[in-house]
Structure 1
Amino acid sequence: MNIYLYWFIQLTWGVLINIIGLCIAAILFCAGLKPYRFNHAIYFEVGEKWGGVNFGVFFFVQKHAPDRLKSHEYGHSFQNLLLGPVMIVAVTIPSAVRYHFRKYQHKKGYSLKPYDDFWCESWATKLGRKYT
């Protein structure tokens, strides 16, 4: 996808989630963290052993995150291109709730299904692979 089209759609149809991402990015930048580029997106490495989260063109991952994690979070940005304002309620909130529930289940010793068994996560992984 053309970088200009990617950013144009992100900052129009997908602007809601990008505003959140911009605020988080600004705070991290002011705190001295360095932004990096992953294809058309911007990401920051924060903390350890937690995974990642996407807010449009901005995503945030653990330090030394593997490329597959960055690709997955980048895939969520393409979901935002397609879903726009619906992204927050259709993907972001369900994904966050599921992440914390899985963390709780893991702590209690339950066996977990693969992370990509959830529809929006497998879709993000596929989109990330396609556009990386």
Structure 2
Amino acid sequence: MNIYLFWFIQLTWGVLINVIGICIAAVLLCTGSKPHRFNHAIYFEVGEKWGGVNFGGFFFVQKNAPDRLKSHEYGHSFQNLLLGPFMIVAVTIPSAVRYHVRKVQFKKGYSLKPYDDFWCESWATELGQKHT
């Protein structure tokens, strides 16, 4: 996909989630964090051992994040291109809730299914691999 088309769709059809990403990116820039580019997306590395989160064309990952994690978060960018304003209710909220539930379950010693066992996470991984 052309970078101009990627950002045009992100900032029109997918603008809702990108506004949050822009705000977080602005705060991080003001605190001295440096942005990086992963294909067409912009990402920041912050914190340690927490994974990542996507807000459209922007994503945020743990320091020294593996390429697999970056690719996965990049895949969420393509979900936003396809789902636009529905991304928040179809992917972002369910994914965030699931992340926090898994975190509690892990602390309690429960056996967890693979992360990509959830439909929107496996879809993000597939899209990230396809477009990386």
Q: TM-score, normalised by structure 2?
A: 1.00
SS in 1 for 2:47: coil
Per-residue CA deviation, residues 38-65 of structure 1 (Å, 9 max, x unaligned), is 0000000000000000000000000000
Write out the 4+ residue segments of structure 1 that deviate beyond 3 Å after TM superposition: none
Q: Which amino acid aligns with 1:87?
A: M
Using the aligned pairs only, state the percent identity.
87
Shift of 1:25: 0.2
Provide the C-alpha distance between the structure 2 equivalents of 1:48 and 1:4, rounded to a whole number of angstroms.
32
Provide the C-alpha distance between the structure 2 equivalents of 1:56 and 1:89, rounded to a whole number of angstroms.
14
| Structure 1 spans left out of the alignment, 5+ residues | none
Instruction: Report the equivalent of 1:90.
Output: 90
Provide the C-alpha distance between the structure 2 equivalents of 1:9 and 1:44, rounded to a whole number of angstroms.
21
SS in 1 for 2:53: strand
1:61 aligns with 2:61: yes
Provide the C-alpha distance between the structure 2 equivalents of 1:21 and 1:74, rounded to a whole number of angstroms.
13
Instruction: Report the equivalent of 2:13.
Output: 13
Q: What is the CA RMSD across the aligned residues, in angstroms?
A: 0.2
Q: How does 1:1-132 map to 2 (within 5 A)?
A: 1-132=1-132
Shift of 1:126: 0.1
SS in 2 for 1:59: strand
| Structure 2 spans left out of the alignment, 5+ residues | none
Provide the C-alpha distance between the structure 2 equivalents of 1:117 and 1:126, rounded to a whole number of angstroms.
12
SS in 1 for 2:42: strand
Provide the C-alpha distance between the structure 1 equivalents of 2:25 and 2:82, rounded to a whole number of angstroms.
23
